[in-house]
A and B are shown apart, each in its own frame.
Chain A
Amino acid sequence: MLGNIIDRLQRRAFSRRYPLQSVRLDAVLGDNHDLSIELPAWAHDLRAGNVQDSFVIAAISRASALF
């Protein structure tokens, strides 16, 4: 409990100290949208966050390839 609070406060402090602009994936992909990507089975076995990250790098690779 206390650990969670400390973690949250630390994340908040980090985000204030090192603010980064955020961008949506579709803005990164620009006109080369192709989100119809089927990830390989092993990607679905990963933690949820990593599945999303796998999708992002696949989409960026594919968008780049379509340019």
Chain B
Amino acid sequence: MPPFHAPARYFEIGTGDGRSALLVAANTPASTQLYTLDPGYPSEPIKGSVFRNRPEAAKIEQLSGSSLSFDFAPYHGQMDLVFVDGSHALADVVVDSHTAFKLAAPGARILWHDLLYDSCEVIQAIDVAGYAQRVKKIAGSAYGTCTT
């Protein structure tokens, strides 16, 4: 595996309750900027509820919108760590995977969550998107990863 690029900027597609963003925030320098996008924010209070009111939240910017229509252009090529954990529908994961590569800076790392053979849609999407040869499943976890 190539070495990591310093994770100055992190982009997450799919905030959920915010536990992943909090874990990244808690394990990166204070200068790291985190962006997390979810169509349920701000209307659904659960989105980001895990990090809300915690000190780490100062590093996290919550963005509102669907990853299928959000304007990612200002973030293209700037992210050092990208996490794909939005909709798990096949077509959506295909789009989000392509988006992840556009967001990633050279030498960045991309993570996908829920690479499970139980449902398989995320794994199938990675195949359909043409990244199956690049993405490796992290043993003992539900993460897939590759570097750019």
Interface, chain A (partner B; CB < 8 A): 7, 10-11, 14-15, 18, 20-25, 27-28, 30-32, 37, 39-40, 42-43, 46, 49, 52-54, 56-65, 67
Flag if A23 contacts B23 (CB, 8 Å).
no
| Contact partners of A57 in chain B: CB under 8 A | 20, 23-24, 83, 111, 143
How many chain B residues touch A (Cβ–Cβ < 8 Å)? 44
| Contact partners of A22 in chain B: CB under 8 A | 136-139
Interface, chain B (partner A; CB < 8 A): 1, 3-7, 10, 19-20, 22-24, 26-29, 32, 50, 80-81, 83, 109, 111, 113, 115, 117-118, 120, 123-124, 126-127, 132, 135-145
A42 to B51, alpha carbons, bound, how many Å? 11
CB distance from A21 to the nearest CB of B (A): 5
A15 to B120, alpha carbons, bound, how many Å? 9
What residue in chain A is nearest B10 (Cβ atoms)?
A61
| Of B6, B120, B136, the contact of A65 (CB 8 Å cutoff) | B6
A18 to B117, alpha carbons, bound, how many Å? 9
| Contact partners of A63 in chain B: CB under 8 A | 4
A45 to B22, alpha carbons, bound, how many Å? 15
| Contact partners of B32 in chain A: CB under 8 A | 65
Flag if B123 contacts A20 (CB, 8 Å).
yes
Flag if B23 contacts A43 (CB, 8 Å).
yes
Q: Can you report 20 A-B residue pairs in the complex whose CB atoms are below 8 A from each other?
A: A14-B120, A14-B123, A20-B115, A20-B123, A20-B132, A30-B1, A30-B3, A32-B3, A39-B23, A42-B50, A43-B19, A43-B23, A57-B24, A58-B27, A60-B111, A61-B24, A61-B28, A63-B4, A64-B5, A65-B7
